[in-house]
Structure 1
Amino acid sequence: MARRLSWGRLPVVHQLRQSVGLQRGMLVAGLIITGLFLLTALTAPLLAPYGYSQLRNADGAFGAQQPPSAEHLLGTTVGGYDVLSRVIWGAQTAALVIVVAIAASIVIGILLGLVSGYFGGWLDRVLVVVCDAIYAFPSLLLAILLAIVISGGQSKLWGGILAAALSITVVFIPQYFRVIRAETVRIKAEAYIDSARVIGTPHRRIMGRHVLRNATRTLPLIVTLNASEAILTLAGLGFLGFGIEPTAAAEWGYDLNKSLSDVTSGIWWTALFPGLAIVLAVLGITLVGESLNDLADPRLRSRRAAAVGAGEVAETSVVPGGSLTAGPAGLGGLEGSGTLGDEGIEVRP
C-alpha cells in the first residue's frame, strides 16, 4: 500500500491519474513521443547504422544526395552523410543541450528568485529590472549573440553544446526567476513563516525547508515547455549557421540549412526527415507541458469531481429498498401488487 502511494505521488504519475478524456489522451500521446525521443537519444550509438560524420564504408563512399535504398533507408545528404544516422545522432545532441540548458537555468533562476523574493530591497529591484530587460529581448537574437561571443559561431561537440546551452540558459533564467520570486513573496507572508522567524529559525533554513519546497510546485510545467523551446532555439542557431560543426556532432537545424537547395531540385528526403524530427520532438514535449498545465488548473479537477458526482447521483436510491426500476408488474409493482385508483389510492384485488 505504501509503495502504491509513493508511486502515485510522482509528478507525472499523479497528473496521469487525475487526467480524463482529452487531457489524458494528450498526456499519454506526449509521454509516448517524448519517451521515444529520449530513448533514441540514449541509444543513438546502437540505433544509428553509421556515424554522424561517416562518409564511406567498406564498399566505398556513400555518394551525395542518394535516394532512399536498402543501404541508406532515408537516403544521403548533399554532403554525403547518411540521413537516418544524422537524424538519430541529432536526437542525442538536442537532448544534451536540453539537459545542460534547463539544469543551469533552474539552478540560477531558483537561487536568484528565492533571494530576491525573500529579502526584497534594492537587490530585488535590480534583479527584477535586469530579468525584465533580458526577457523583453528577442530570445533567438540573444542566443545568436551569445553563441558568437562564446564559441565564435561554430565549435566542436562539447563547445557547441555548451555555447548553445548557455545562450539558451540566459533566455530561460528570467522565466524561473519570475515564478520563484512571485511564489516566495506569497509564501513569506504566511503565518508559519512568521512563526519560524519568531522562534529564531535561521533565514537559510526557512528558505530551504519552508519556502523552496512550496515555491517549486509549478516547475515541471515550465521545464517541459522550455525543453521544446530549447529544441527550437538550437535548431534556429544551426539553421542560421551558428550551431555545431557537422564533423563534431549531428544537428537538425544545420541539416535543414544544407537541404534548402535540394528542395527546389526535387530531392525531398534531405529536408523532410530532420524537419519531421524537430516537429515530433517539439510536439511530444509540448503535449506533455500543455497537459500538465491544464491539470494544474483547479477548474479541471472541479469538472472531474462534478462528473463523478453526477454518476453517483444517478445511482442514488430514490425509493426505500433500492433504485427506481420497474419490476415484473411494471411501475405499479414498485410498492405493492395493487393498482392505483382515480384519486391515487391503492386498490388491491
Structure 2
Amino acid sequence: MTTSMEKPSEPREPDARKPSGDVQAQSPRALTRARRRQAVARFWRQYRTHRAGLVGLAVLAVIALLALTAPLLVGADSQSVTNAPGGPLEEPSGEFPLGTDQFGRSLLALMLWGTRVSLTVGLLAAFLSVAIGTLIGITAGHFKGWYATVIMRVTDWFLVMPTLVLAIALATVLSRSIWTTILAIGVTTWPTTARLVRAQTLSVESRPYIERSRALGGGHGHIMSRHVLPNVMPLVLAQTTLVISTAILTEATLAFLGLSDPTIVSWGGLLQDAREAGAVSSGNWWYLAPPGLAIAVVALAFTLCGRTIESVLNPKLGVSR
C-alpha cells in the first residue's frame, strides 16, 4: 500500500482584476467623501503657494475673530450714547486708542461693533446675489430658446444700469433696516454672476456625458443639479469672494448716504456720523481714518482671496504669486 505525499499548496497571488476587500467595503458615499477630502487637500496645497492669498486669508481670519469676540472685548454698553465714557471728539490717547466720536463713545469699540454689521451685510448680500445669479445662469444656459432670450435681455438691462443707483432707489423706497440693505445689494449685483455661470453652463452641456445622461432618461433637474451645478461651483466660489468686497463697499456707501438703519453701528455709518460732525473741516482725522481704512483693508483682503481662488481653480489665468 503506497501513500501519496501531497505537496503543500503555494500561496496564490491576488488577482489584480478583482478589487480589494477595502475597496469593496467602501460605499459610494465613502468614496465620494474621500475624493472630496483629496480635492480639498489638493486645493489647499495649491492655495498656500500664493502669498497674496495667504495674506488676505490671515487678515480676514483676524477681522472675523474680532467681530465674533466684540461683545467680550468691549461690551454692549459701548454703543450707548447716554453712558459715553469720554468727552466729545477726544484725540487718541491711552484710554481711547482711536479717540472718541461726537457723543464721547470710544471709536475703537464702535469699530469692533461695526465689523460685525459690515461683515454680516457683505456675506448675506453676496450669498443672495450669487444665488440669484447662479440660478438664472444655469437655467438660461440649460433651457435656451425664448426663456434664455428673455432672461438674458433682463440681465443686460441690469448690467447697463448703475448698480449703486438701483440700490439707492430700493433703499429709499423700502424701510431703513439691515435687511433692506442686504436686499438692495443682492438684487442689483447678480447680473455679472449670471453671465459667467451661463457661459460655463453652455460649456458643460456641450460635453458628451451630458448627452449620455439625457439618453439614459435624465431629466432637466437631474442634469442641472447633478452634472452642471458641481462643474460651475468652483466659478461660483471664486465669484462669491469677489462679490463680498463689492457688497461691503456698497453697504458703506448706502450708510454714508444715510440710507441704512441709523440705530445700527457700521463702518459706513461711522463715516456718515463723522461727516455730520464736521470732522473734515475740523481736522478730526481719527474720526475718518479708521472706518475708511477698515473698509479698504477688508475689501482688499476679499479681493486677494478671490483672485487666488480663481487662479487655483483656473491655472490658465496665470495670476502672479
Question: How high is the TM-score relative to the length of structure 1?
Answer: 0.75
Contact 1:18 1:301 in 2 (8 A): no
Which sits farther off after the overlay, 203-212 or 101-110?
Answer: 101-110
Return the offset for 1:290.
1.9
Query: Mean Cα displacement is larger for which, 92-101 or 63-72?
Result: 63-72
Which runs of no fewer than 5 residues in structure 1 stay unpaired?
305-349
Confirm or deny that 1:24 pairs with 2:50: yes
Contact 1:98 1:231 in 2 (8 A): yes
Cross-structure match for 2:273: 258
Shift of the 208–43 alpha-carbon distance from structure 1 to 2, 3 Å rule, reads same
Quick check: 1:46 aligned with 2:75?
A: no
Q: Say whether the 8 Å CA contact 1:37–1:91 is kept in structure 2.
A: yes
Would you say the 8 A contact 1:56–1:62 is kept in 2? no
In structure 2, relative to structure 1, the CA distance for the partners of 1:50 and 1:146 (3 Å cut) is same
Native 8 Å contact 1:96 1:161 kept in 2? no
User: Normalization by structure 2: what TM-score?
Assistant: 0.82
Q: Please say if 1:122 is aligned against 2:150.
A: no
Deviation at 1:149, TM superposition (A): 1.5
Structure 1 residues 70, 56: closer, same or farther in 2, change over 3 A?
farther
Amino acid at match of 1:190: R
Equivalent positions of 1:119-198 (< 5 A) are 119-151=143-175, 155=176, 160-198=177-215
Runs of 4+ more than 6 Å apart:
2-5, 300-304
**1:94 positional shift:** 1.0
Paired residue for 1:207, among 213, 224, 227?
Answer: 224
Q: Pairwise mapping of residues 68-83 of structure 1 onto structure 2 (< 5 A)?
A: 68-83=92-107
SS in 1 for 2:187: helix
Q: Say if 2:143 is the partner of 1:111.
A: no
Distance 1:167 1:62 in 2: 36
What is the alpha-carbon distance in structure 1 between the residues aligned to residue 150 and residue 302 of structure 2? Answer: 34
Instruction: Name the amino acid aligned to 1:252.
Output: W
Query: Partner residue of 2:237?
Result: 220
Alignment: residue pair count: 288
CA 1:299 to 1:241, structure 2 compared with 1: closer, same or farther past 3 Å? same
Residues 129 and 301 from structure 1, CA distance in 2 versus in 1: closer, same or farther, beyond 3 angstroms?
Answer: closer
The 5 Å alignment of 1:277-292 reads 277-292=294-309
Give a deviation string over 1:301-340, Cα, whole Å, max 9, x none.
Answer: 7999xxxxxxxxxxxxxxxxxxxxxxxxxxxxxxxxxxxx
Per-residue CA deviations over 1:157-196 (Å, capped at 9, x if unaligned) read: xxx2211111111122212211221122221221111111
- Give the Cα separation in 1 of the matches to 2:80 and 2:38: 46
CA distance in structure 2 between the partners assigned to 1:207 and 1:175 by the alignment: 20
C-alpha deviation, 1:6, in angstroms:
5.2
Whole-angstrom distance in 2 between the partners of 1:189 and 1:252: 46
> CA separation in 2, counterparts of 1:52 and 1:285?
28
Q: Distance in 2 between matches of 1:46 and 1:281?
A: 22
Aligned AA (2:112):
I
- The answer as to whether partners of 1:30 and 1:287 remain within 8 angstroms in 2 is yes
Instruction: Output the CA distance in 2 between the equivalents of 1:77 and 1:195.
Output: 65
Q: Which amino acid aligns with 2:248?
A: I
Q: How far apart, CA to CA, are the structure 2 residues paired with 1:68 and 1:228?
A: 29
Q: CA deviation at 1:64?
A: 1.1
5+ unaligned residues in a row in structure 2: which ranges? 1-30
CA contact (8 A) 1:89 1:249 kept: no
Instruction: Give the match for residue 275 of structure 1.
Output: 292
Determine helix, strand or coil for the equivalent of 1:9.
helix
- Asked if the contact 1:52/1:250 (under 8 Å) is kept, the reply is no
Question: Once superposed, what is the RMSD of the aligned Cα atoms?
Answer: 2.5
For the residues of structure 2 that align with 1:301 and 1:139, how far apart are their CA atoms?
Answer: 30
| Larger gyration radius, structure 1 or structure 2 | 1
